[in-house]
Structure 1
């Protein structure tokens, strides 16, 4: 589901970028650490590309694939990420079908990043399943999400457009991760019941995590 004009302006604003760089990224790094050198990452719903830039600069990815439904966002991301050259592949596509969008096979990525996009996807359970499918054993799923508790607030309803069916609570989102064998690392940061930040990993075949 595409963002409306108000939310598009918000996510491209300096305050949103400041929050992402100076609050969300440090929390996710504390919970999951940097990814190993030489790793390939995926960002679903990349927007203007700022998240992908942080994945390369702060999390240590060697290259990243990123996708978004909105062609205007892909254009913005292309301009922002041009300095990174062939470290970045950008495509227009859906997080619910990564095989069609990126020809992504099972266990393709060392890390998958969700900077607040899954709650925009009507078939959010399919998006989680796809993230789990393409994540390599030992890989990490970094997530920052908005829950039904926030989406049901009057301010959210008036300003933004979101799917109205099957909105997830924090526990429902975490249960869906577990259903796809993604194990949450340490604690999950919850902000007033509205926001959820955490890192989950896909176990190695021997049951461990790298």
Structure 2
């Protein structure tokens, strides 16, 4: 579902962008490494600030990105115009990258989901789509807001999120290996009551 105006303003605020740039992106890079020369896709790109971090901080050579909000997609295109054909941005859903980007199976070295899957009503389908488009050994970089946070009075008052079938940190992490996404000593995770942030690798079971 689309972000409401209050959350959209927060996501595009200076403090939120500083948190992404100076804390979240460096931590994800430490947990999962960079992807120099790689091809990445970002689900829920918003106005393109995270996309730029994927290019500059993580070293991706090309990034495809989608968002449900046409206005955000237009903002992202303007923000990232200087990257030329290294960036492709489309209106589309995290649960169907084939429709938005003609994304093939095993087509990407990395998928980034930066606080977006909790907005997706069928969040399990979004994780399945992440796994579908990753090549074997590809990495899923994620940061997510959990049910614990969404149930807090401030969240419920200020922001509009799907109400049914929300995930806890543990529930999110349990879902990953059901789609071949695993964590080990290299691909670690940080968990908080309100948030879960980490990196998982696509690989066969066992």
TM range (shorter): over 0.9
What TM-score does the superposition give when structure 1 sets the normalisation length? Answer: 0.95
1:11 maps to: 11
2:146 maps to: 147
CA contact (8 A) 2:180 2:204 kept: no
SS in 2 for 1:167: coil
* 1:20-39 correspondence to structure 2 within 5 Å: 20-35=20-35, 37-39=36-38
CA contact (8 A) 1:31 1:185 kept: no
Q: How far apart, in 2, do the equivalents of 1:65 and 1:170 lie?
A: 27
CA contact (8 A) 1:185 1:198 kept: no
CA contact (8 A) 1:185 1:199 kept: no
Q: How far apart, in 1, do the equivalents of 2:182 and 2:122 lie?
A: 21
Q: How far apart, in 1, do the equivalents of 2:61 and 2:189 lie?
A: 26
CA contact (8 A) 1:113 1:142 kept: yes
1:179 maps to: 178
CA contact (8 A) 2:90 2:100 kept: yes
Shift of 1:189: 1.1
Shift of 1:204: 6.7
Deviation per residue, 1:122-155 (Å, 9 max, x gap): 0100000000100010110000000000000000
CA contact (8 A) 1:107 1:135 kept: yes
Q: Unpaired runs of 5+ in structure 1?
A: none
Q: Between 98-107 and 6-15, report the one with greater CA deviation.
A: 98-107
CA, structure 1 residues 185+113, in 2 after alignment: closer, same or farther (shift >3 Å)? Answer: farther
1:188 maps to: 189
1:109 aligns with 2:96: no
Q: Unpaired runs of 5+ in structure 2?
A: none
Deviation per residue, 1:43-95 (Å, 9 max, x gap): 00000000000000000100100000000100110111011111000000001
